Each structure stands twice: as C-alpha cells, then as structure tokens.
Structure 1
C-alpha cells in the first residue's frame, strides 16, 4: 500500500518525474506548484495545489494529511540573482516549518552535487550552491526524518535507463558526473522506502557501465567503508 506524498516543485523537469515515479509505485500524490506553472497532461488529474511558498496558510493546507514531502523546488538560472536565496534556502525553510506545524515527519530534499562549495561556476548564478547548502542544513537541524539527494549534472535523457547503474556515495565524494532526471526521481522514491537513508546526504550520478544496485545495498557499503 502506498503513501500520501506531497511533491513541491512538481511542474519542474525533475519534480514531474518524481510525481510519475510515485504514481507508478501506487502512491497518492499531491502536487504543489506555483500559481502560473503548467503540468504535463498525464498529471492533470492529480490532487493539485497552486500556491506561493510564502503563504503559510495555503502551504499548511497543502501538506495537511500527507505522510511525506519531496522537495523538488529549485531556483532556475536567471537574471534575478536573488532566486537561489528565496527558493533554495528560504523556500526550503518555509516548507520545513509547515511540515512541523502539520505533522509531516518524512522529507526528501533534492539538492545538488557540490552544495556548499564557494569556488564553483554554478555560484555565478546567485551563489546557488551556497544557498542550497543552507537549505540542507535547515533540514538537517529540523528534527524531521530527512534525506538529502544530491544529483550530479542533470539531463533529460530517457532511453536505456533500465540498464544504467547509479553511483551512490556519501556527502562530498563526487564532483562532476551526470545523471538523468528520471533516475534522480527514482532515487527519491527509493529513499522514501529505505529507512536507512534517513539522516543521510546521498550523492548520485550514473553510468551505463555501472552495475545496478539498490540504495539499501549502497548504504551498507558506505557504512562499512566508514567504520
């Protein structure tokens, strides 16, 4: 039996894939999107809430009754350099606060490889990696059952993914490899089903030559190497 899962940023390229993968697993999904955002047609019949993250009442109502939240919100590169601060730090904090108010305990955050690094080209877009790390830290300190997924460079490739392996590592182990958004979405759903992922930052990249393993298997290896 599935869970009732809220997905914020569900109109984004990663977010709508999270929604699709959640539905495949038999979950009930509630999609949280901006007022003017558009969804793919195959998600148009889902429970949909259009809101601003700054609207506490609307956010609380959207999360009420949900078992978990996947935060797939993220600032997009633009001329507005305040976006990363508003979305990746403040926006994450607003959603965490709402989860605590309404009793949503389980949260998965989609962040980014190299979060927290200052010397990185992505920081030309409003210090985006710095703000992403502040969002991660807010979640780590929240008291919720959290998992952070840090994907590498994202692409929209959909072909041959069933044969592609994922490299799962702990924090600050990877730098520049890539991963399709579809596989990131699957990682989020897998994390929700993997209790040992709670309290972990998990970096993910992929390669067709990698052996396919589960997140649970990977975490056992990560723990063994750390002990």
Structure 2
C-alpha cells in the first residue's frame, strides 16, 4: 500500500499523514507550497507539488500510489466560487485522476449534514451543497470508496469514544481531527468500510467499540 493525501497541509490532512506515517505506510503528500509542507509534515512523507484544480498535475503527483485520501476544503474567504472550485471541481479532478492512475480505494472527508440544504454552513457559499455533489460524483465513479462525514472538528484530541452511524442520521456533535484521521486510515484496512458513507462524532459516554464493529454496523 502507498497512500496519496490531498489537502495534506490542512488541519485534518496533516493528521492523516501523521497517522499513515505512524503505521509505516509510505505517503505521498500533495502540497502547493513545498517549504510550507516541509515545516508542517513529517520528514518521512514524500512531498509532491500539485494543485487539485489542475488535473494533469494530479496524475503526475499520484504516480504509483495505490490508495487516495482527500481532506481538501475551501478556506473561509470572500470568494463565492471557493467551495465550488475546491470542494467540487477539485474533488472531481481527484476522482478522475484516481481512475486514470488505478487507485484501489478513495477515502473522502466530507461533513455531517451535506443533505440538508437549509443549514447554516450553506451560508458559506453553499459549501455543503458542493461537498454533496462531490460525494455523488465519487459514488458514481466506479471507484471503491469510503465517505467520512465528521461532525464539528476539534484540533485538540480527547478521550471521547467514536460514534459511527449511517448516512443522514447524525445532525450534531463534534470530533477531534485526530480521530477523523484514525477512521480514514482504518477504513483502508476494513473490508466492511468499502462503498459506505459513515458519519462520525465522539462522545464521552459512548461505549468502546473496535473499528471492525463500528464499520460492520453501517448499512
């Protein structure tokens, strides 16, 4: 297995890279700024320069990777086209590049509530709408996939336990980014994670369950 991570310098992406490195999985991390990437990411990660808005750069960057994890996301800005370009067009390019290069599994970090149009996050240039469109494009691509929809993201880890549910059943809650990274990487090893949407939050009162049980419970 060789992993390609898009959005590698983002808060969630860097944790995915760290989780992969900790498991001794070779990583190619997509960066736009090589120097920034070197400052943020583990030395064990191979950094490759590319842009999700440039399809040909993605094909070259993916190279011989066998799995792809996408943690891209539009940064808050006044640009109304940001979520469309990054969360939809960029994700679409990644799916097309993954198909062209023979990627065996595509793990996509999305968000809770993507199916709810009247959600406050859609005031940010319809960000959930474009994430949902990207999910649908991946689902129709023929690629084996796992779509991970986390709740509100926290930078600090905690001892809360992961709660996993099927699509459109969790509508609030939060989860540390470290746990999101763990779910994403674990999905590469669990056959029951294939071709599923999993929604995740973390709660202190939740029972401890192994990942095998969590993924197997999702229909």
**Which structure 2 segments of 5+ residues have no match?**
none
| Cα distance in 2 for residues equivalent to 1:36 and 1:121 | 35
Check whether the contact 2:21–2:45 (CA below 8 A) recurs between aligned residues.
Answer: no
TM-score with structure 2 setting the length: 0.94
Structure 2 residue 145 is matched with structure 1 residue 146: yes
1:184 matched residue in structure 2:
180
| Cα distance in 2 for residues equivalent to 1:42 and 1:52 | 17
SS in 2 for 1:88: helix
| Cα distance in 2 for residues equivalent to 1:37 and 1:146 | 31
Deviation at 1:7, TM superposition (A): 0.3
Check whether the contact 2:196–2:218 (CA below 8 A) recurs between aligned residues.
Answer: no
Deviation at 1:37, TM superposition (A): 7.3
2:32 matched residue in structure 1:
34
Aligned match of 1:9 in 7, 10, 21?
A: 7
1:111 matched residue in structure 2:
110
Check whether the contact 1:116–1:132 (CA below 8 A) recurs between aligned residues.
Answer: no
Structure 2 residue 73 is matched with structure 1 residue 74: yes
| Cα distance in 1 for residues equivalent to 2:207 and 2:136 | 32
TM-score with structure 1 setting the length: 0.91
Check whether the contact 1:166–1:204 (CA below 8 A) recurs between aligned residues.
Answer: yes
Aligned match of 2:216 in 194, 209, 220?
A: 220
**Which structure 1 segments of 5+ residues have no match?**
none
Check whether the contact 1:168–1:215 (CA below 8 A) recurs between aligned residues.
Answer: no
Check whether the contact 2:53–2:85 (CA below 8 A) recurs between aligned residues.
Answer: no
Deviation at 1:207, TM superposition (A): 1.3
Deviations 1:68-109 (A, max 9, x none): 000010112211121110011111110010011111121000
Equivalences, count: 218
